[in-house]
Amino acid sequence: STFVGASFGGIAELYAQIQKAIGATERVFELLDETPEKINSDKNAISEKIKGNVSFKNVAFTYPSRKEIQVLKNVNFTAEFGQKIAIVGPSGAGKSTISSLLLRFYDITSGEITIDGKDIYDYDLENLRGNMSIVPQDVILFGGTIKENIAYGKPDATDEEIIKAAKQANAFNFVDGFPEKFETVVGERGVKLSGGQRQRIAIARALLKNPSILILDEATSSLDSESEKLVQEALEVLMEGRTSIIIAHRLSTIRNADKILVLDNGKITEEGTHQELINLENGIYKNLSNLQFSNS
């Protein structure tokens, strides 16, 4: 979510800068498709379908533009196929960085990230990203039709597939309410959608893409309760049958996670289920959840 202090050191940082600075343009999406220089060239790169077992082994990471800070230190965790892993922790702890590493926006400094037991840098980048979807906190749609925005992850999708995905994502009704329906132009020069509507478009896009690994950055600011409920329902459908790594802010998500990782200052300090962590005396999670969720 936050890419503070980025300099123009690489495509990923450039992307972050542009996303921050300009907001919605198609350029952002073009940049996402570009292949940065990586450790392993794509010779013999793995192009088989990903199942969705993710593992971080002693992962350390420093942003190339900010060598003085080690953002991740010895991070170890596994997410097995179909699991929901929630990452919680204070701002700046390194939560978004974990998702950037999974998407291979950056090379890790040391350690290993594996997917289905194989080094993440041995994968064909297009295959890797083709098997992952990210639903960010603040969804930016590109200037185009709703249909194009949904079909982005699967350009050859049929109208039936697009409609089905929109229905599953609780987006169909509001889209159908526009005079131009799926041909409605959104973005800077089009119809302005609410945050919750944009999220549901992003969920429809992800459903259509059908990734093995889902990265979900939950919104911190709450939507109005009706929209919240529709988004939440759609997310439940989306997470079904895939591995989800969630930068979590909602108690319901956290409670339902198979595993919660507490990230503090680049280190995983606690790991377990909600029940397990709530029982840790003087635990960070215990404190966090007392503070954040005392009213829920």
What is the binding site for ligand ATP (CB under 6 A)?
1-6, 13, 16, 63, 65-66, 69, 71, 89, 91-97
Q: Write down the least CB distance from residue 47 to ligand ATP, Å.
A: 29
Closer Cβ to ligand ATP, 71 or 204, answer by number: 71
Contact 245, 231 (CB under 8 A): no
Q: Identify whether the C-beta of residue 32 lies closer than 8 Å to the C-beta of residue 125.
A: no
From the CB of 77, what's the least distance to ligand ATP, in Å? Answer: 15
Minimum Å distance from CB 74 to ligand ATP?
A: 15
Cβ nearer to ligand ATP, comparing 50 with 216: 216
Judged by CB, which is closer to ligand ATP: 68, or 156?
A: 68
Q: Select 5 or 241, whichever has its Cβ closest to ligand ATP.
A: 5
Q: Which residues pair with 271 in a beta bridge?
A: 261
Residue pair 164/171 in contact by the 8 Å Cβ criterion: no
In the complex, least distance from residue 199 CB atom to ligand ATP, rounded to whole angstroms:
17
Burial of 245 (0-12, 13-18, 19+ CB in 10 A): buried
Q: Rounded CA gap, 234 and 214, in Å?
A: 13
Taking the complex as a whole, the smallest distance from the CB of residue 251 to ligand ATP amounts, in Å, to 16
**Which CB, 4 or 251, lies closer to ligand ATP?**
4
Q: Residue-wise over 164-190: b if at least 16 C-beta within 10 A, else e? A: bbbbbbbbbebbeeeeeebebbbbeee
